[in-house]
Structure 1
Amino acid sequence: MHPLEGGYGLHKSESDGDQAILVSIITIVFNGEKYLEHTIKSVLAQSYKNIEYIIVDGGSTDSTVEIIRKYEKKIAFWRSEPDNGISDAFNKGIALASGEIIGILNADDWYEPDAVSQIISHYRYDSVLHGNKQYWNEDGSKGPKSKPNLAILPLEMSLNHPTVFVSRSLYKKHGTFDTRYKLAMDYHLLLRLYQKGVNFIYVNHIITNMRVGGVSADIVGCYREVLQVKNEVLGPKIGNKLYFYWTLLRYNTSRILAGTPLAFLNKFYRTHISSVKKQY
């Protein structure tokens, strides 16, 4: 079966100055009809205009493809076909990208209107840029804001991956996402780049908005993959295993306290104690 595909093709807008930098944004999706249109609109509404938008669909059976077709004239390239998981879909998008810098936006997240212009204003060649993330509750109310902490990346995934933009040159030098990882592929990539001494640039601005709630992720499975990543990239150490048990304890304690009179302790920990700050 041949893939479905379309888009206006790779596009270079007439521009000068910083506008000469082409930014590729990739969204991967599978049966994402509920929020995909909001995601697409947030990319198309960017104040920075020299963007090529690429959508990689895993062969959706809902109205995802119809939504993509609705915006086809403003999407550089889209393809719909089965894939071998999230890492494989990411890599397909990166292979299609021609921008100097590449961002990945999940199909149920959305950018702030000036997200890309904020990234470009701090951009340096051969760099990873990242910023703050705003959480939103299921009822539409604003949740906490998450600020990253690069210093503890060797311990855990301490950056906000939906805010991350990576120079395409770094993918060429150090490789893309490892398809062995199904949950912590973003951590594996960033930790590899960190260990190589790549320049990470923090942009103190809300870049991406993210919904919370809905179907729970496999948190414990993700922690296990994080441990596997650390053992691979940093070498097996007893400290890696001890930190794994600490994250499990921290997670389970948070779950137990949630919905009880002691739930305020979770907020206190995230706001004042955690190395990855979530400001309310």
Structure 2
Amino acid sequence: MAHALEGGYRINKLQPESRSGVLVSVITIVYNGEKYLEQTIQSVLSQTYKNLEYIIVDGGSTDGTLDIIRKYESQLAYWKSEPDKGISDAFNKGIALVTGDLVGILNADDWYESDAVANIVNKYEPECVLHGNKQYWNQDGSRAHQAKPNLEILPLEMSLNHPTVFVSKSLYDKYGKFDLNYKLAMDYHLLLRLYSAGVKFIHVDRIITNMRLGGVSANIEGCYREVLRAKNEVFGSKLSHQIYYYWTMLRYRVSQTLDNSPLSFITRFYRTRISPIKKQY
């Protein structure tokens, strides 16, 4: 097996300048993400909050991803490139490398608002989960809509914006990391475990993370199936879980049909006025 490629100021035995306050660790996992990775990196390194370490876990990219990572190597705490067993495994590798009090995970095609970490830290409490709002963008660069979380319905479905979530490192130590058996809804499974354990969730009512629309379609239906499995695992198998699963599948298919028709205004009305997870256009 080939040795992992690695770098960062830890490898070079350098220390960042001394800073005070909560140490925040941000993790980005990436595989062949050269198209948007640089924007992601810049959004982390340009945060107004400076007591931050940045770790990148690459899955063995074959495009220009490593060139981009090396460009910022002196500002990265650590980076590694080697094959992994999927998203959950890559997340766990990153978590095992952090030294901060609070851990955020930023996807390789998303980006933070410049004051995202500062706004999170302002609400920080030990042993908590902090989360905020997410802004969506169209491919032409125009704003699409903003999504606000709804913690009350987390036991029913994924109602938080995972790219905005920051988790106390001590909670990973106490309750475990991501389950490798989940390929799509690993974030929901983790948050549900923390929620069921009585962990405090704190909403920061600010845009934390930006995300593009119009990329490769996600396996939404596969994700719903894993959400059902997570609920059955955490809360026990219940008929209500199965019924809600069928409801979410029906809701998704109807919305897909309406979105591609002259009746798209119906789904827009639902999302802004009726849906428990409100979107602002």
- Could you state the TM-score of these two structures normalised by the residue count of structure 2? 0.97
Match of 2:202?
Answer: 201
The Cα offsets for residues 162-211 of structure 1, whole Å up to 9 and x where unpaired, read as 00000000000000000000000000000000000001000000000011
Please show how residues 92-241 of structure 1 align to structure 2 within 5 Å: 92-241=93-242
1:12 Cα deviation from its structure 2 partner: 5.3
User: Are the structure 2 counterparts of residues 238 and 2 from structure 1 closer, same or farther at C-alpha, using a change threshold of 3 Å?
Assistant: same
The Cα offsets for residues 6-59 of structure 1, whole Å up to 9 and x where unpaired, read as 0011845423xxx42110000000000000000000001100001100000000
- Counterpart residue identity of residue 180, structure 1: N
CA distance in 1, matches of 2:17, 2:191: 30
Q: 3-state SS of the aligned residue for 1:270?
A: helix
1:149 Cα deviation from its structure 2 partner: 0.3
Match of 2:270?
Answer: 269
1:139 Cα deviation from its structure 2 partner: 1.3
Match of 2:247?
Answer: 246
Residue 174 of structure 1 contacts residue 193 of structure 1 at CA under 8 Å; is this kept in 2?
yes
The runs of 4+ residues in structure 1 deviating greater than 2 Å are 10-15
Residue 11 of structure 1 contacts residue 52 of structure 1 at CA under 8 Å; is this kept in 2?
no
CA distance in 2, matches of 1:77, 1:245: 43
CA distance in 1, matches of 2:100, 2:15: 10
The worse-fitting range, judged by mean Cα deviation, of 250-259 and 22-31 is 250-259
Match of 2:18?
Answer: 14
Q: 3-state SS of the aligned residue for 1:253?
A: helix
- Counterpart residue identity of residue 41, structure 1: Q
CA distance in 2, matches of 1:223, 1:217: 11
Match of 1:33?
Answer: 34
Residue 12 of structure 1 contacts residue 50 of structure 1 at CA under 8 Å; is this kept in 2?
no
CA distance in 2, matches of 1:173, 1:66: 36
Sequence identity percentage: 68
Q: 3-state SS of the aligned residue for 1:61?
A: coil
1:138 Cα deviation from its structure 2 partner: 1.2
- Could you state the TM-score of these two structures normalised by the residue count of structure 1? 0.98
- Counterpart residue identity of residue 40, structure 2: T
CA distance in 1, matches of 2:16, 2:56: 18
The Cα offsets for residues 99-157 of structure 1, whole Å up to 9 and x where unpaired, read as 00000000000000000000000000000000000000111110110000000000000
User: Are the structure 2 counterparts of residues 13 and 167 from structure 1 closer, same or farther at C-alpha, using a change threshold of 3 Å?
Assistant: farther
CA distance in 1, matches of 2:17, 2:92: 25
CA distance in 2, matches of 1:252, 1:229: 22
RMSD: 0.9
- Counterpart residue identity of residue 159, structure 1: L
1:261 Cα deviation from its structure 2 partner: 1.2
Count, aligned residues: 277
CA distance in 2, matches of 1:128, 1:11: 28
Q: Gaps spanning 5+ residues in structure 2: where? A: none
CA distance in 2, matches of 1:210, 1:235: 33
The Cα offsets for residues 214-236 of structure 1, whole Å up to 9 and x where unpaired, read as 21000000000000000000110
Match of 1:91?
Answer: 92
Residue 183 of structure 1 contacts residue 225 of structure 1 at CA under 8 Å; is this kept in 2?
yes
